[in-house]
Every structure is written in structure tokens, then in C-alpha cells.
Amino acid sequence: MTKKVTKIGVLTSGGDAPGMNAAVRAVVRTGIYHGLEVYGVMRGYSGMIDDDIFRMESRSVANIIQRGGTILKTARSKEFNDAEGRKKAYDNLKKRGIDGLVVVGGDGSFRGAQRFSNEYDIPCIGIPGTIDKDIAGSDFTIGFDTAVNTAIEAIDKIRDTADAHDRLFIVEVMGRDAGYIALHSGIATGAENIFIPETKTDIEELVSSLMEKEKRSKLVNLVVVAEGDEFGANEIAKVVKERMPTLDARVCILGHIQRGGSPSCIDRVIASRMGYHAVECLMVGRHNVMVGILNNKMNYIPLDKAVKAKQRINPEWMKIVKILAS
């Protein structure tokens, strides 16, 4: 017999992502629709440990679907890595009778949820909320589409000034371990070169390419680099300037602007779908899974597999980049 879930908690953990509020809203209202008590946990696992937990009603999530960030705040908790910290968190849930958790976050958040659930038999459902899109089992993660569109808007403006001055711009976007933001924004803005952590960066090939384009009087060039690339934007610029001192090369690091802002339609919709299905999972006894969307259909992957697997980039993407930039 599956233990009936009556009270659930929802938290956002790790890096913030546009659309997290839409997911929280969906969890709260779906839970209330099913007659569950829903509790919000502030600052992720830190709030569980510090007992920063409060009852949520339907009006608690009014007028938040369009807001970036997360009303529940978020944090990375070192204390939750220790057994003593997880015991504190469990005691705070137990005294309220919370018997199910929905965790919106990335792979680190899912690892914590998996360990916690195994130790204390509290079912956890993961919702992939990360701008990096680096979790296998879902075509999209909450926040990715908004982050990419923010990067595209910024890069389009940078290209305008690059064109006005015949400059090379090396733009660094987010993506510590995954190059999806760089790949998508680079293709969408017509970047001549894209460098990502998943592939080896060939500086010599870049320099040769720039020299060849200089001979063709193609002086406007755009290079998009993921922050996790082995060289990084500043180091690439340093090498280029040493090898081509007459080339006017500039670096622009977009940084945390990509995390903020009102979520796109796609992020609001997928977050709403995932939040709804996360609660449905708890209701029917499908526990310790991540709720994803594959080919526009809901996909449920065990949390332990979700944290071990990584979204892989098809080599064809890089071929497309090379052909279109020629």
C-alpha cells in the first residue's frame, strides 16, 4: 500500500531561474485543489534546517507567475550535506506532519533530495529549475529559454556596436559545466565561433579563421564563450591580441543578467506543467522521480538517474555552427 500524502512542502534550491515562481504557484494550487496542506520552505534546504517553513494558501502565490527569481528565496546549504543537518530538517518537517516534498532546482538539489528521502522515507519529487539545461530527461529546464533570450538580446546589441567599429567581440555567457546557453545564443545571433565546456577549444583554429576572414575584409566577428570553457573569454582575447595586434578585440561578460527578468512564455508554461504533475506524482505514489518533458510529453526519471546522467550535446550542433559561420 502506498502511504497517502496529506501535507507537502515546496522549496527552491541552488541557482535561481526565471519560472521558479510559476512552478511554486502550480504546486501550491494543485496541492490545495487535491485537499492537501502545502508549506513553503524558505531558502531551500537551509530553511528546512532553520525551521523557516510556513503554510501557503492559494492567495500566497497570487501575482507571481510573471516575476523572475523565487518568492521562496534560494540558497546552497553546506549543513544539509551533514547527517546532523538533515536530521534537523527532518525533525522540522515531522513536527508539522509534512510527508512529501517538491524540490525545484538542479542536480545538486536532486542529490540532496535523493539522500534525504533514502534516510527518512519522505517521498521527493524533483522539478528541473536551472538555466544551464544540463539535466538529462527533459528537453527543457525551467529558466533556460528566458536566459537564452536575454543573452540573444544582449548579443544583438553588441553586434551593432561591433559592426559600427569593425571589431571582434568575445562574449561570455553562463554555463559552468554545460554549453547550451552559448550554443543556442551563438547560433541564434550568427556567431562565427562558439566555445563550450563539452568540446576542446582549438585556439589555433580560431586565430587561423580570424586571419582568413581578415584577408576577406570581414572585420566584424562575434565569438560566444561559455563561462566553463577551458580558456574563457579573457584568455581567448589575450591570445588573439598577441597573435593579431591590429585586430580591435573586446570582451563582454554578460554575467548574472541572464538569471533575472520576467520568464518567457515557454518557461511559464513548462513550469506550470511540471508543478502540476509533481503533485500528481505524490498523489499516485510515484515517488523520488524528476518530472521532465520529452517530445512535449511528461517524462519521469528516477532522481538517482537524473543526478548521474547529463544532457549531452549532439556533435551535429557544432557542425552546424561551422557551416553557417563560413
Q: Which residues are tagged catalytic?
A: 132
The enclosing H or E element of 207 equals: helix 203-215
Cite the beta strand spans of the chain per DSSP E: 7-12, 37-41, 53-56, 100-105, 124-128, 168-173, 193-195, 221-226, 249-253, 289-294, 297-302
Please, how many CA atoms are within 13 Å of residue 140, restricted to the half-sphere of its CB? 26
Contact 139, 310 (CB under 8 A): no
Q: What is the DSSP letter of 192?
A: S
Q: Which of 184, 186, 223 is nearest to 201 (CA)?
A: 223
Question: What are the two backbone dihedrals, phi and then psi, of residue 179, each rounded to the nearest 5 degrees?
Answer: -105, 20
Query: At residue 269, what is the residue type?
Result: V
The three grid cell numbers given for residue 128, joined into one nine-digit string: 528541473
